[in-house]
Amino acid sequence: MAAVLAFVETSRGKLKKSAAEILGEGKRLAQKLGGTLDAVVVGHGVTALAGDAGKLGADRVLVADAEVFKAFGVDAYLKALVKAVAASSPRLFVMAASVVGKDLGPALAAATQSALLADVTSVAVADGKVRVEKPVYAGKAVATIAASSPMVVATLRPNVFVPAQPEDGRSAPVEVVDAGVKPDDLRAVVKEVLAKASEKLDLTEADIIVSGGRGMKGPENWGILEKLAEAVGGVLGASRAVVDAGWRPHEEQVGQTGKTVSPKLYIAVAISGAIQHLAGMRTSKCIVAINTDPEAPIFKVADYGIVGDALEVVPVLTEELRKLRE
Ligand SMILES: Cc1cc2nc3c(=O)[nH]c(=O)nc-3n(C[C@H](O)[C@H](O)[C@H](O)COP(=O)(O)OP(=O)(O)OC[C@H]3O[C@@H](n4cnc5c(N)ncnc54)[C@H](O)[C@@H]3O)c2cc1C
């Protein structure tokens, strides 16, 4: 029996960046609860990754490795997680509030009759109860919620929790979870995932994001944002106005109906800072805004602001940042 069971995601033969955060926070909470930390890895050809989970602090690693888990599908993964819960009997189950976690978290909570605390930004243990904080009303308020079900499922917002540092030489026992899942048992099977060849980091995992808004005037001006992103080692984001106009793909949209991000640095270029945009980025550690309008709402949440025309400011800023990096 473990205090905490952490589901760690994998991608292209590696643990995802969120795994270190989930295991780092999982370890801290396991210590608070006075128990151990189990990790569960699900996928195809993922057994070799169990060692990485051990290096990141897991005391035991449960592995469900089968071809049926090759592409993510809620049905199959849920069966594996339910088996892992039975093997671990944790007080708390943690996973990333990623696309996968947002699908699996509610399903697992329902299957195990547990409370679901979704997209949380802090977790504490008080009087034996799990207590979390999460932004509500598009980030305008923070709710504190305590759960008292025997097991609690919490999805943790990416890029918020302190990641565990790998300890070379540390290892954990590995146990096979036989989920017994056959394709015929599943209501829906993902046959193939046609991923873009891009090696770009997902927005939710990026440390630095350069986001552009409608004030950029048109997609032809994105070249200067790409250069800025390159200079700071960041990835591109966008407001919904830009995505709706077809200037940028939806996968880049930040906000209430896009992605929720918490990078170390968020540069909002020519974005007004509508409440629905803020909902997706206000937990960024440092926010820089560039806007012609000194009254733009984005300046209310910005740590640094530049009032000016993005088409003039961004190339100069990029040049100066490049010099600093040389
Ligand atoms: C249900 C719902 C969900 C929504 N979800 C999202 C969401 O997920 N994400 C999201 O972003 N929005 C969302 N929206 C839309 C949101 O309300 C805003 O309409 C949108 O964020 C505006 O995008 P923008 O800031 O790029 O454009 P605008 O509001 O048009 O702002 C453009 C900004 O650029 C500035 N500007 C203009 N020219 C320049 C220049 N040359 N240099 C510098 N600055 C300049 C202007 O001063 C202005 O502040 C949602 C709305 C609804 C109703």
Domain end position, chosen among 185, 218, 234: 185
CATH number, position 284:
3.40.50.1220
Average pLDDT of the segment spanning 220-238: 97
In a domain, 106, yes or no: yes
Residues in Cβ contact with 319 at an 8 Å cutoff, skipping those fewer than 6 apart: none
220 & 161 share domain:
no
- Tell me which residue has tokens 């991608």: 11
- DSSP codes, 31-80: HHTTS-EEEEEEESS-GGGHHHHHHTT-SEEEEEE-GGGSS--HHHHHHH
Q: Is the CB of 212 under 6 A from ligand 1?
A: no
Based on the structure, what is the number of domains in the chain? 2
Lowest mean pLDDT among 42-51, 182-191, 274-283: 182-191
Average pLDDT of the segment spanning 289-295: 98
* Nearest Cα residue to atom 14 of ligand 1: 276
Model confidence at 189, pLDDT cuts 50, 70, 90, reads confident
pTM above 0.95?
no
How many of the other CB atoms lie within 10 Å of CB of 129?
Answer: 11
Q: Is the CB of 292 under 6 A from ligand 1?
A: yes
Enclosing domain of residue 249: 203-325
Q: What percent of the chain has pLDDT over 70?
A: 98
Instruction: Report d(CA 47, CA 64) in Å as an integer.
Output: 8
Beta bridge partners of 266: 209, 287
pLDDT at 138: 81
168 & 293 share domain:
no
* Nearest Cα residue to atom 11 of ligand 1: 239
* Nearest Cα residue to atom 4 of ligand 1: 276
Model confidence at 197, pLDDT cuts 50, 70, 90, reads low
C-beta of residue 239 within 8 angstroms of C-beta of residue 291: no
